Amino acid sequence: MTLEFRTYKNSRELANLNGVPIYMSDMIDAALRGRLNTFLQGDTGSGKTQLVRDVMDYFGDKSLFILGRNDMDTRELFQQVNPEFIRAIRGNSYNHEAKDKEKELKFKELTDRVNYHFIGVDELPNCVPVVRSQLFNLFDGFIEIDGKAYPIGTDYCVGIATGNIGQKFTESSNELGRALKDRMHLIIDTDYFKPTSTDTLEILTADRNPRVRFSEASEDRTEEIRRANKELSQEQVPFEKYVIANYLIHGLDYLSEEYGGSKTELKSGWPNKLE
């Protein structure tokens, strides 16, 4: 499976593994294969939104685009996901004699109809915490209603969100920063990996419109992406890779005993307490 973006272009190298260059397209390809929720942090004009729109093209009508706003509430979010949710929630709020079992069956019926495999959220930081939480849930393939999780009607769901929050996501004391680190698998600061001047020139000569391009014709490759994810999840993992993962989790957390033995235990004191 190889994905090529319709409009977004970026030939700048993000990383290099043993002589093999890694580009933005490779990172997003890996995120879709591995079903890794991704947050694109960066200043205005770095192409974050266009990248999300281009990814949506590969999911056809099985994708949902949401523009984050500080006045959006969960009811509006549910309305965008499935208009029937609002009627169901209102019906149960006024019918005090409604049985919990009937309510659960109704919500399950509605969530089963949700057939989105990709959720794109622009300006996620603009959303209030309760809405952000529901968006994270959607990325993971479920909706939380009245404290209960209802899986949406698909076995594959992944999300990409964008936002400009500077370096705040690195601060463990910041609420949004903690949420991003807890719920997003991959965070890329696009300010460090802007498209090259050649990329920009190619985009400008193709279309002088500075606005985000909304493609009318999309290539639905949902099944191909789902199949790639399933194959990856069933692939045998060599023991050596588990050892490497174990090192990344525990080895990189190590500190000498005079500093407490763990970076995690120092919490926000790391690395200042080592000075």
Domains of the chain: 15-235 (3.40.50.300), 239-275 (no CATH)
Distance CA 54, CA 132 (A): 23
Residue 128 and residue 108: Cα distance in Å, rounded?
A: 26
Cis check for the bond before 195: say yes or no (omega within 30 of 0): no
Q: What is the pLDDT of residue 226?
A: 94
Q: Tell me, what's the pLDDT at 239? A: 96
- For the cut 50, the answer to whether the pLDDT of residue 223 exceeds it is yes
* Residue 94, pLDDT score: 42
Q: How confident is the model at residue 72 (pLDDT cuts 50, 70, 90)?
A: very high
State the pLDDT at residue 30.
96
Q: What's the whole-number mean pLDDT along residues 76-95?
A: 69
Q: What is the pLDDT of residue 138?
A: 93
Per-chain mean pLDDT for the chain = 84
275 or 14, higher pLDDT: 14
The answer, yes or no, to whether residue 85 has pLDDT greater than 90, is no
**pLDDT tier at 31 (50, 70, 90 boundaries)?**
very high
Instruction: Tell me the whole-structure pTM to 2 decimals.
Output: 0.83
**Is residue 67 predicted with pLDDT exceeding 60?**
yes
Strand partners, 143: 150
- Angstrom distances, CA of residue 60 to CA of 221, 226, 229: 8, 14, 18
For residue 172, what pLDDT is reported? 47
Residue that has been written with the tokens 């959607």 in this structure: 138
pLDDT at 200: 87
Instruction: Work out whether strand 20-22 and strand 15-17 pair parallel, antiparallel, or are unpaired.
Output: antiparallel
- pLDDT tops 70 at residue 1: no
Q: Quick check: 28 and 188 in contact, CB under 8 A?
A: no
Give the closest residue to 179 by CA, choosing from 237, 105, 263, 121.
Answer: 121
| pLDDT confidence of residue 75 | 85
Higher per-residue pLDDT: 251 or 212 = 251
More confidently predicted of 153 and 44: 44
Q: So what's the pLDDT on residue 250? A: 92
**Is the pLDDT assigned to residue 208 strictly greater than 60?**
no
Return the residue matching tokens 């968006």: 135
* Amino acid of residue 245: A
